[in-house]
Structure 1
Amino acid sequence: MRTILFVLPGLAVMALAFWAYSENYETQESLSRVNDLQRRIGAERETLAILKAEWAYLNRPERLRGLVDLNFERLALLPLQPFHYAGVDQIPYPTPDLEDIVEIIPLMGELP
């Protein structure tokens, strides 16, 4: 009986040691994946910054103006003027369809 009392805690300690060992390796693997993802995120951010710089370079007003002048006959692009935009009073808003409301809804305190 005493040997069982000594063996069971020993087996429990060994099981807990195995569990801790496996958890340690899973944690190390997770940390490795996190580091890899952080490196990839950093590389993608660097690529994004380069793309934004290229976009800003390609969208320079003097470059675009030169392209418009070069291709004016084919594209017929004109500079935007204030009269190209509609005023707030010129925007057509949909009118609400009130014919679908046929039922009277009683207010609180009123009897139906």
Structure 2
Amino acid sequence: MLRTFDIILITIMLAAATVTYKIKYDAEKRMADIRTLQRKINAEKDTITLLKADWSLLTQPNRLQRLTEIYQSELNLAPIDAKQIVSVGEVPERPADDIQNIISSSDELLAIINNAGTDTISTGSVEQGQ
């Protein structure tokens, strides 16, 4: 014969087991979420490392010098003169008709860009054949 006290103890024990199971299940779910986030973080770190390597490959001075020589006629680059360095307030505003000329010549610029030779260095961020 079960007494009331025994029934109360059994109920408390079942409630404690249920709470313990729920806490354990929630902890395992949180750990799975943490592992998923850690994998995503590691993948992003790998991507950042790859992009840094690509950037250092693309910004090598000898490569940039070679590209400058190839595209000298389109770029019209010249060494910087000390007189060219001014503050922002000293730069004159561009007239509105110049802006219209730039907008109208955008098709010509796109044609130049599309017809320009391609860079032969392939990097990890660019697939071959594109």
Common fold, TM-score beyond 0.5?
yes
State yes or no: 1:77 paired with 2:77: yes
3-state SS, counterpart of residue 80 of structure 2: coil
Cα distance between partner residues in 2 of 1:43 and 1:64: 30
Counterpart amino acid of residue 33 in structure 1: D
Cα distance between partner residues in 2 of 1:64 and 1:29: 51
Counterpart amino acid of residue 34 in structure 1: I
Unaligned runs of 5+ in 1: 93-112
Residues 57-94 of structure 1 deviation map (CA, whole Å, 9 limit, x = unaligned): 100111111111111111212233433322xxx564xx
Alignment of structure 1 residues 14-25 onto 2, 5 Å: 14-25=14-25
Q: Look up the match of 1:28.
A: 28
Alignment of structure 1 residues 24-103 onto 2, 5 Å: 24-86=24-86, 90=87, 92=89
Unaligned runs of 5+ in 2: 90-130
Q: CA RMSD in A?
A: 1.8
Cα distance between partner residues in 2 of 1:72 and 1:32: 56
Give the fraction of aligned pairs with identical amino acids, expressed as a percent: 26
Number of residue equivalences: 88
Higher relative contact order (CA 8 A, sep 6+): 2
